[in-house]
Amino acid sequence: MASVGPVAAARETLVLDPAERKAALLRVIAGARRRLVLSLFRCDDFSVLDALASALERGCEVEAILTKRAKGGKKRLKKLWGALEEMGAIVTRYGDPVVKYHAKYLVADESTAVVTTLNPTRKCFSRTWDAVLVTPDPAVIKGLLTLFRADAAGQPLPSRRPISNRLIIGPERSRPEIHRLIAGAGRSIQILDHKLSDPDLVGLLRERRNDGVLVSVIGRHPMGAIEPHGKMMIIDGQRAVLGSTALSTLSLDFRREVSVIIEEPALVRRLTTAYQQLSARAGAAAAHLPGDRIA
């Protein structure tokens, strides 16, 4: 596994607070001068749409990939397509007949990338657990742009142009990469994922628990005013995976997903602290896996 370079890592920003997540996203959009590429699964926050419109007005090219299908959202998707096209953005409706475009990323001026767990919606900016990573890592930026170009053209990921090992891109790489991370854990696996259900990965987690690895899962547990949404996994307190990828068969095998591996100690510590706070609310239930018999 390639490690994050010290310069890139030191300049990465992790944002967890709901209001600050929105501000961070708007700052990246506002800072773009030449080109913005982004994926959108859902978006109903007008400040984000206004920011994209402002980018177009100052001469910045905006290209967006949108999914054709989202649960309960066909009319809203059509409105979003129309709004973006009316602004002057270049909109691609992802054409795969099976794969839904669920990835959540943005690249500004080929110099800054955002990988996030959230959709730019009023809900995700106010009452969900989500995270935003802003990074200048050239390998991550290049990988996301390679992905965007391939998906916009309806082409498979290029085999001759390797994508950064920090990026877990599904469905091509999700299952083997996540399997490898879980199998390689030596002490602990902490998972935040209310959709954990894939039989093979649940079985692997049970095996690792039997091996003596501490396995903790926060799924649909009470979080107070916060609703579960974002997906995160922390391995041995040293490496975190953050993004759109859920540990469900649908997400692993049938959706375009993007997650990023974080190895910068300060950022992993912040995520670990956030996880521990949520775990305290879940209590003993965090030790249970789907299918466990509970006395």
Give the count of alpha carbons within 13 A of 30, CB side only: 9
Which CATH code is given to the segment(s) 170-287? 3.30.870.10
Domain ranges of the chain: 6-165, 170-287
Q: What SS3 class is residue 10?
A: helix
Q: What SS3 class is residue 231?
A: strand
Is residue 4 predicted with pLDDT exceeding 60? no
Is residue 281 predicted with pLDDT exceeding 90? no
The more confident residue out of 255 and 67 is: 255
Is residue 249 predicted with pLDDT exceeding 60? yes
Q: Between helices 46-57 and 74-87, what is the axis angle to 10°?
A: 20
* CB neighbour list of residue 290: distance below 8 Å, 6 or more residues apart: 196, 197, 202, 219
Quick one: pLDDT band at residue 8, thresholds 50, 70, 90?
very low
Mean pLDDT, rounded, for 33-37: 97
Is residue 79 predicted with pLDDT exceeding 80? no
Q: Provide the mean pLDDT of the chain.
A: 90
The more confident residue out of 69 and 284 is: 284
Residue 284, pLDDT score? 84
Is residue 283 predicted with pLDDT exceeding 50? yes
Residue 105, pLDDT score? 98
The more confident residue out of 153 and 295 is: 153
| H and E: helices and strands count for the chain | 9, 16
Looking at this protein, which amino acid is placed at residue 121? T
Mean pLDDT, rounded, for 167-191: 97
Same CATH fold assignment for domains 6-165 and 170-287? yes
Residue 81, pLDDT score? 64
Write a three-state SS string for 84-140. Answer: HHHHCCEEEECCCCCCEECCCEEEECCCEEEEECCCCCCCCCCCEECCEEEECCHHH
Is residue 118 predicted with pLDDT exceeding 70? yes
Mean pLDDT is lowest, of 4-8, 10-14, 182-186, for: 4-8
Mean pLDDT is lowest, of 17-26, 81-90, 186-195, for: 81-90
Mean pLDDT is lowest, of 45-49, 68-72, 246-250, 261-265, for: 68-72
Quick one: pLDDT band at residue 2, thresholds 50, 70, 90?
very low
Residue 189, pLDDT score? 98
Give the count of alpha carbons within 13 A of 292, CB side only: 18
Is residue 98 predicted with pLDDT exceeding 80? no
CATH class as words, domain 6-165: alpha beta
Return the top range by mean pLDDT from 7-11, 62-66, 258-262: 258-262
Is residue 201 predicted with pLDDT exceeding 90? yes
Q: What SS3 class is residue 40?
A: strand
Quick one: pLDDT band at residue 74, thresholds 50, 70, 90?
low
CB of 190 within 8 A of CB of 234?
A: yes
Residue 70, pLDDT score? 53
Mean pLDDT, rounded, for 48-68: 92
